[in-house]
C-alpha cells in the first residue's frame, strides 16, 4: 500500500523533531555541558555540608527571572548526599530559593535536576532554605557556594556571608564553589585578617564567558573581582567557555570554573575531608 504524500510531509519533520529532542542533550553532554563525572568517587559518611545559594531573582533591569543555576546546586547536593553526608541548604535571605528558569528546561536540564524535581526532601529544603545569618557555619565540615547569575547580586556583597565563611575557614572546614559562587569568598578573611582569596589559586567563571553570553550588566564579575582581591586566578578555555571545565585545589579551597564542574568539585572536597580525617 502506497502511503499518501501528506503522510511523509508530516512524518519526516516529526521524526526529525523527535530525534533532536532525544539527541541534543546527549550531544551537548559530549560537547561539555552536564558531563558525566568519571573521576574518583569519595564518601565521608556522617559528615555535614552546607550548600549556600543566592536569593536574588531578577536579572538587572531586564525583568527576567534568574537565581541559582540549578545544576550548580543539584549536582553537588546529590554528590554529597550519595557520599553519606548530611546536606543542608541555605541562602542569603532564607526561604524560597529562586532558580534560573532555563537551567531546568530542555536541553540544559541535568539528570540531577530531574532527580531534584522528583525529590520532595530537596524540594522542601529549596522552598524553605536556611538564612545565612541564622546558621553556624563553623559546625560544618564543608561549605559549598553555588553560582548562577543571581549570585553576582548578593553573595559577594554580603558581610554576614563573609563573616560566616571566615568562621568556617578558621574551624578547618573545606570551602568549595563553582562559577559565580566564588564571589561568596570575597569578604571572608584569614585568621590574620587578610582577604581569604589573596595569594590563593582558584577559578570561577571567566570574563570571556560572560562576554560570550552577553550578560555583562551584572554588578560583580568573578574573574575581575577575584583578581582585584589578589587571588591567583586560573581557568581553561574552549570555543565557548561554557564548554570548558577546570577545577583547582589549593589547601582547603576547592573551586570549579562553571556549571560543568559541580561533581568533581564536590568529590575533591570530600577527598580533602577523607585525607584530613575531619
The pLDDT tens digits of the residues spanning 17-52 come to 544 455 667 666 677 788 889 999 999 999 999 999
Average the pLDDT over 169-176 and give the result: 98
Beta bridge partners of 48: 86
pTM recorded for the entire structure = 0.92
Distance CA 218, CA 250 (A): 28
pLDDT of residue 118: 98
Is beta strand 247-250 parallel, antiparallel or unpaired with respect to 232-233?
A: unpaired
Is beta strand 130-131 parallel, antiparallel or unpaired with respect to 201-202?
A: unpaired
Query: What residue ranges do the domains of the chain occupy?
Result: 46-276
Residue 208 pLDDT more than 60?
Answer: yes
Taking Cα atoms as reference points, which of 259, 49, 258 lies closest to residue 174? 49
Q: Does domain 46-276 have CATH number 3.20.20.140?
A: no
Distance CA 160, CA 171 (A): 17
The better pLDDT of the pair 30, 274 is held by 274
pLDDT of residue 25: 73
Measuring CA to CA, how many Å separate 101 from each of 54, 105, 267? Answer: 14, 7, 27
Residue 160 pLDDT more than 80?
Answer: yes
Q: Residue holding cell 582585584?
A: 228
Share of the chain above pLDDT 90, in %: 83
Beta bridge partners of 86: 48
Under DSSP, is residue 277 helix (H, G, I), strand (E, B) or coil? coil
Q: What's the DSSP call for residue 3?
A: P
Residue 10 pLDDT more than 60?
Answer: no
Average the pLDDT over 128-134 and give the result: 98
Distance CA 120, CA 116 (A): 8
Share of the chain above pLDDT 70, in %: 89
pLDDT of residue 33: 86
Taking Cα atoms as reference points, which of 135, 185, 143, 153 lies closest to residue 54? 153
pLDDT tens per residue, range 53-98: 999 999 998 899 999 999 999 999 999 999 999 999 999 999 999 9
All cell numbers assigned to 6: 501528506
Mean pLDDT over each residue of the chain, to the nearest integer: 92
Answer yes or no: are the C-beta atoms of 69 and 148 closer than 8 Å: yes
Amino acid at each position: 500500500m502506497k502511503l499518501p504524500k501528506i503522510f511523509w510531509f508530516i512524518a519526516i519533520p516529526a521524526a526529525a523533531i523527535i530525534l533532536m529532542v532525544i539527541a541534543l542533550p546527549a550531544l551537548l553532554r559530549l560537547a561539555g555541558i552536564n558531563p558525566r563525572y568519571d573521576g574518583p568517587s569519595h564518601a565521608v559518611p556522617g559528615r555535614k555540608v552546607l550548600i549556600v545559594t543566592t536569593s536574588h531573582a531578577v536579572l538587572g533591569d531586564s525583568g527576567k527571572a534568574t537565581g541559582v543555576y540549578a545544576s550548580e546546586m543539584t549536582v553537588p547536593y546529590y554528590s554529597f548526599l550519595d557520599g553519606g553526608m548530611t546536606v543542608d541548604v541555605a541562602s542569603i535571605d532564607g526561604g524560597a530559593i529562586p532558580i534560573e528558569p532555563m537551567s531546568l528546561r530542555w536541553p540544559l536540564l541535568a539528570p540531577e535536576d530531574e532527580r531534584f524535581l522528583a525529590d520532595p526532601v530537596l524540594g522542601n529544603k529549596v522552598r524553605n532554605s536556611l538564612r545565612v545569618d541564622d546558621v553556624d557555619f563553623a559546625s560544618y565540615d564543608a561549605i559549598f557556594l553555588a553560582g548562577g547569575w543571581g549570585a553576582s547580586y548578593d553573595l559577594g556583597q554580603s558581610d554576614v556571608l563573609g563573616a560566616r565563611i571566615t568562621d568556617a575557614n578558621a574551624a578547618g572546614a573545606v570551602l568549595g564553589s563553582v562559577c559565580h559562587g566564588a564571589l561568596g569568598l570575597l569578604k571572608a578573611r584569614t585568621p590574620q585578617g587578610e582577604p581569604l582569596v589573596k595569594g590563593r589559586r582558584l577559578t570561577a567563571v571567566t570574563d570571556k564567558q560572560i562576554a560570550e553570553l552577553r550578560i555583562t550588566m551584572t554588578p560583580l564579575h568573578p574573574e575581575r573581582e577575584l583578581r582585584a582581591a589578589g587571588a591567583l586566578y586560573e581557568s581553561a578555555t574552549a570555543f565557548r567557555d561554557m564548554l570548558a571545565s577546570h577545577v583547582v585545589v589549593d589547601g582547603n579551597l576547592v573551586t570549579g570554573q562553571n556549571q560543568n564542574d559541580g561533581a568533581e568539585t564536590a568529590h575533591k572536597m570530600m577527598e580533602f575531608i577523607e585525607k584530613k580525617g575531619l
